[in-house]
């Protein structure tokens, strides 16, 4: 099935271009890119937050009644296999992707747990993938957003 999936992506110019855009992001490889392409081309998402929520990589607070001291955790709604691929990609991104590494380090300095920071790194990768595909431009490690003064 993997070979059929690869052949399908190679045979379709739009999918092939999308895969190249996704793989321009450090830590997004063939398997993670193919899984994200599958989701993004079969569902319509208006914003990156919708994609992150669909994949289950958004934090959910545990608050119910008088129990307000619960820790946040990933929602884990959506396809677990894609989340597993994002987990491995996030581990790689902490070494090779400057935006994800900066986020991870910043959260650790704030006192967040390593697992919580890793969940945020997974979400950051999803947002980067969405942005690259929506803007049709490869990932730029030195990109800094323009801030209006």
Helix (H, G, I), strand (E, B) or coil at 86: helix
Res 63: pLDDT = 67
State the residue for tokens 């099935």.
Answer: 1
What global pTM score does this model have?
A: 0.84
For 67, 98, 112, the CA distances from 28, given in Å and listed in that order, are 39, 14, 25
111: left (phi over 0), alpha (psi -120 to 50) or beta: left
Res 121: pLDDT = 94
Res 146: pLDDT = 61
Res 49: pLDDT = 92
Q: From the CA atom positions of the chain, what is the Rg in Å?
A: 16
Res 110: pLDDT = 93
Res 11: pLDDT = 81
Mean pLDDT by 10 residues, the chain (149 residues): 77 88 92 92 92 88 65 77 93 92 93 89 94 91 65
């Amino acid at each position: 099935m993997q070979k059929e999936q690869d052949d399908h992506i190679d045979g379709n110019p739009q999918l092939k271009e999308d895969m190249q855009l996704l793989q321009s992001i450090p830590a997004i490889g063939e398997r993670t890119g193919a899984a994200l392409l599958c989701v993004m081309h079969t569902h319509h998402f208006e914003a990156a937050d919708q994609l992150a929520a669909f994949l289950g990589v958004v934090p959910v607070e545990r608050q119910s009644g008088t129990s307000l001291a619960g820790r946040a955790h990933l929602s884990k709604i959506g396809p677990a296999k894609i989340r597993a691929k994002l987990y491995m990609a996030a581990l790689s991104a902490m070494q090779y992707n400057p935006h994800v590494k900066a986020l991870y380090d910043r959260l650790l300095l704030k006192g967040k747990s390593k697992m919580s920071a890793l969940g945020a790194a997974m979400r950051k990768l999803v947002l980067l993938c969405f942005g690259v595909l929506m803007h049709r431009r490869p990932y730029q490690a030195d990109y800094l957003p323009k801030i209006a003064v």
